[in-house]
Structure 1
Amino acid sequence: MPDSSSPYSRLVPWLALAGLTALVGLVMSPFLAPLAWAGIIAYTSWPLMERLRGRCGGRDTLAAGLATALAGLTLVVPLVWLIWLAQDEVGQLYPAVRSFVAAPPELPDWLTGAPWLGDWLVHQRTALLDDPQGMIVAAKAWFAGHANEVASFAGGLGKNLAKLALALMTLFFVYRDGARMVRELRHVLARFLGPRTNAYLSAAGATTRAVVYGFLLTAIVQGALAGLGYWVAGLGSPVMLGIITALFALIPFATPIAWGSAGAWLLLQGETGAAIGVWLWGAAVVSQIDNVLRPIFISSIGDIPFLLVLFGVLGGILAFGLVGLFAGPVVLAVAWAVWGEWTAHLDAPSEPGS
């Protein structure tokens, strides 16, 4: 009979556990993004779930169903509305582009006098006036040559919609069984991390909430302010443009791409004053509010370096795609919080019997 105290007998269970973990990871790897989205949505909306559970008399399944339905409406209704606005705008965009190509507006003197750029713009306007159909033909040829990319983009949209449906289905089970999952996680981690498990999890939870809320709420405020500026400037569909700006605001330093492009479009239409107004509003208000609100939200639970958040966003996007906008900074911020708790525990006086 083999000796159970031998190193080999203790090593075999760990090797079996490692192999099982690897197999589970291999099977679940296609579903990591929907699982991550479900976890993020459930975590940020958990207070609502608790209220619904109380209203439903503690019936977890009913409360989880209602919370999932509300989450689905919150996600799907704006998405459908945005698609409807987009297709309406595309229908108006084609005649607007045709009229712009047929009669490009006069360029302001200050723009034509700009070095290099002014000469290039004057040349492009002259080429349009001489051969307005040439650009349309070139555009059609470009789209024909990039048909595969367009098909790939459409296929990507279909996959993302399927992931959204899977995330909502997963969200129901996270709502229903989330409390039990957390209790089991605490129990397992306590075997490895010891009595400091609750402190680590509390720090990680507060950091996650601050990072997610900080990014989401700041982006929403930036999108609303940008949409207000677009409306005042007379741009079509300011709400849709504001939503697009909010999406850009989730990425550090990307907001100027949105309001800068909107101002450039106004400038090309000859609306110089409106273009300058959009640029000034974007630079002085939309982009600057990020430097005020996001540190307030994130620093409310601790001193998280901005560089850490920046690396988290950029690295998260490269590693996980869109979900990395939240997963990346959350992972680094949680690691930062756990490190802080650990170092504080090292500096603290030892408890009797520890």
Structure 2
Amino acid sequence: MIHRPPAPNSTHEQKIQRAASAVLYTLLVVLALWVVREFLPAVAWAAVLAIVLWPAYGAIESRAWFRGRTTLIAALLSVAIGLLVILPIAVTAIQAGGEAHELYVWVHDAQENGVPVPDFVSRLPVGSRQVNDWWQANLAQPLKASPAMQHLHGDTLVNFGRHFGARAAHASVTFGFTLVTLFVIFQAGPKLSSTLMRGARRAFGADGAQLLQRMAAAIRATVTGLVVVGLGEGVLLGAAYLATGVPHAALLGTVTAVAAMLPFCAPIVFAGAALWLAAQGSMVAAAILAACGCVVVFVAEHFVRPVLIGNSTRLPFLLVLFGILGGASTFGLIGIFIGPALMTVLMVLWANWAE
């Protein structure tokens, strides 16, 4: 009996096999992403940090003493990121702990005796009587019997504490996995970068590789614009807090710097500080602080930040703003950096289509 070699697959069968392979690969990728879905935020944060720090990685790796020591470089950069996040939180917690006793005494006194109407209420140009009446009815009497505070019973506070603790624990775990992922990315080093670029060229051609580089540049520019401008606003407004007599000016400046990294959040902090000064009767200092804050935020948000982000990504200011705010509302905090990258993709696709 003569065995004949199997006949080659027909064109129709080959198309079916390719379609089946594509479906199988897609299902496997979706299944893998679903399995690791809890760790995707950590991977996304690590990717953003790696993109931002890649020039620093290259500069360190180019030094003769560090050449080829990818594990050491990865450890140094990961530890540096960890300290940059942990140290401010630790300092803030220590200072807050120092004020905990005074806060407890104030809250206990407010529950027993109420909060007296501040002097500045009588000096309000509009609505002084209405504010005074509301304060007398809700806050001037003991807070434990106040109608405005009845919903803040023990169970509500306990549930709030549990929810806050759970979110803090989840954020801590995510940050820990972020550092581990960042270490692995840096340890892979240039090999990982070349693999990604080679895969992009193979899958999408030269345009795909260029688009990937543009997205990385957009993320790096966004982080630079947000962080640098935020730190600048924190320093300037911290000096304003110190000059106007706001207590804990350094701590409040740090809070302002963090808030300023998010668009239009810094006014919440300096407006609260200005209101506190007004409540203490320092109306001139409050006005000066409010004016300084408005000037600093206006210049930073409308001139410095758009230039830093828009010039690097070649995006108009409106698209930068839409990318930051839309990304934050869609993906959360990580979306602040993803949004401008997606806007860059949109601009590149539009430019290629319009040619």
TM range (shorter): 0.7 to 0.9
Q: Which moved more, 1:137-146 or 1:75-84?
A: 137-146
Partner of 1:86: 96
Q: Which residue of 1 aligns with 2:28?
A: 20
**1:272–1:338 CA distance, 2 compared to 1 (3 A):** same
The aligned counterpart of 2:215 is 204
Query: After superposition, what is the alpha-carbon deviation per residue over 1:81-114, rounded to whole angstroms, capped at 9, x for unaligned?
Result: 1222222234333445648955543236540x40
Deviates more, 1:121-130 or 1:34-43: 121-130
User: 1:49 corresponds to which residue?
Assistant: 57
Give, in whole Å, the separation in 1 of the partners of 2:159 and 2:139. Answer: 32
2:83 match: 73
Displacement of 1:138 in angstroms is 6.6
> Which range moved further: 79-88 or 324-333?
324-333
Q: Contact 2:221/2:313 (CA < 8 Å) preserved in 1?
A: no
Aligned residues: 341
In 2 relative to 1, CA 8–125 (structure 1 residues): closer, same or farther, beyond 3 Å?
closer
The residue that corresponds to 2:271 in the other structure is: 260
Distance 1:274 1:140 in 2: 35
Identity, in percent, stands at 28
Alpha carbons of 1:259 and 1:135: their partners in 2 closer, same or farther (altered >3 Å)? farther
The alpha carbon displacement at 1:297 in A equals 0.5
Q: Secondary structure, in 3 states, of the residue corresponding to 1:107?
A: helix
Moved more, 19-28 or 295-304: 295-304
Q: CA RMSD in A?
A: 2.7
CA contact (8 A) 1:203 1:337 kept: no
Distance 2:297 2:100 in 1: 26
- 8-17 vs 129-138, which moves further: 129-138
Q: Which deviations, in whole Å up to 9, do the C-alpha atoms of 1:213-265 show, x marking residues without a partner?
A: 11111111112222121121211222222222223223322322221122112
Contact 1:266 1:272 survives alignment (8 Å): yes
1:30 aligns with 2:38: yes
The correspondence of residues 4-15 of structure 1 with structure 2, limited to 5 A, is: 5-6=11-12, 7-15=15-23
* Counterpart-to-counterpart distance in 2, 1:298 and 1:22: 33
Unaligned runs of 5+ in 2: 1-5
Residue 161 of structure 2 corresponds to: 150
Q: Deviations over 1:55-101 (max 9, x none)?
A: 32311112211221222222211221122222223433344564895
- What is the TM-score normalised by the length of structure 1? 0.86
Give me the whole-angstrom Cα distance separating, in 2, the residues matched to 1:155 and 1:297: 37
In structure 2, relative to structure 1, the CA distance for the partners of 1:325 and 1:142 (3 Å cut) is same
Gaps of at least 5 residues in structure 1 are: 348-354
User: Within 5 Å, which residues of 2 pair with 1:116-265?
Assistant: 117-127=127-137, 131-132=141-142, 139=149, 142-146=152-156, 147-265=158-276
Please give the alpha-carbon distance, in whole angstroms, between the structure 2 residues aligned to 1:269 and 1:278.
14
State yes or no: 1:59 paired with 2:69: yes
